[in-house]
């Protein structure tokens, strides 16, 4: 869960979310291609890409002098699953409360 938390921290930055949106088209893009869509400098992009790659949210594939980036879908699905588990825990607790209420109600009816 700690790794998932750090992934969410990295994604909390609007620029990094923009980068993911650009990469979401499914293409492998170079930094130069990504920069065309953003109003940031190349060193700033490098910083953002380094964070995304270090958390394994984005894959980096170096070919010669160029580096191509694409989204690591497995990492995104892991984050989604962690969020779903939070909701399912809540749902399970609510279901248990409803069962307890029904049991109490049926006991009262039997005692009448």
The CATH number covering residue 42 comes to 1.10.10.10
- CA dihedral (59, 24, 83, 48) positive or negative: positive
In the DSSP assignment, the letter for residue 90 is H
**H helices present in the chain, as ranges:** 2-11, 14-23, 31-35, 42-54, 73-111
Q: Determine contact, residues 78/4, Cβ cutoff 8 Å.
A: yes
Please give the residue range of the domain that contains residue 34.
1-112
Whether 102 shows a pLDDT value over 70: the answer reads: no
| Res 89: pLDDT | 62
Could you read off the pLDDT of 57-78 as tens digits, one per residue?
999 999 999 999 999 999 999 8
Over its C-alpha atoms, the chain yields an Rg (Å, rounded) of: 23
DSSP per-residue string spanning 50-81:
HHHHHTTSEEEEEETTEEEEEE-HHHHHHHHH
The domain total for the chain is 1
Sign of the alpha-carbon dihedral angle for 89, 20, 29, 59: negative
Residue 91, pLDDT > 90, answer no
The 10s digit of each residue's pLDDT in 43-59 is 999 999 999 999 999 99
Distance CA 13, CA 4 (A): 15
């Amino acid at each position: 869960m700690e790794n998932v938390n750090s992934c969410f921290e990295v994604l909390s930055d609007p620029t990094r979310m923009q980068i993911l949106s650009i990469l979401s088209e499914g293409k492998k893009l170079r930094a130069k291609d990504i920069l065309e869509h953003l109003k940031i400098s190349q060193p700033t992009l490098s910083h953002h890409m380094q964070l995304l790659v270090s958390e394994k949210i984005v894959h980096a594939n170096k070919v010669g002098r160029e580096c191509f980036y694409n989204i690591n879908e497995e990492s995104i699905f892991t984050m989604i699953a962690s969020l779903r588990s939070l909701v399912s825990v809540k749902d399970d607790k609510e279901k248990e409360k409803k069962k307890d209420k029904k049991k109490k109600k049926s006991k009262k009816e039997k005692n009448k």
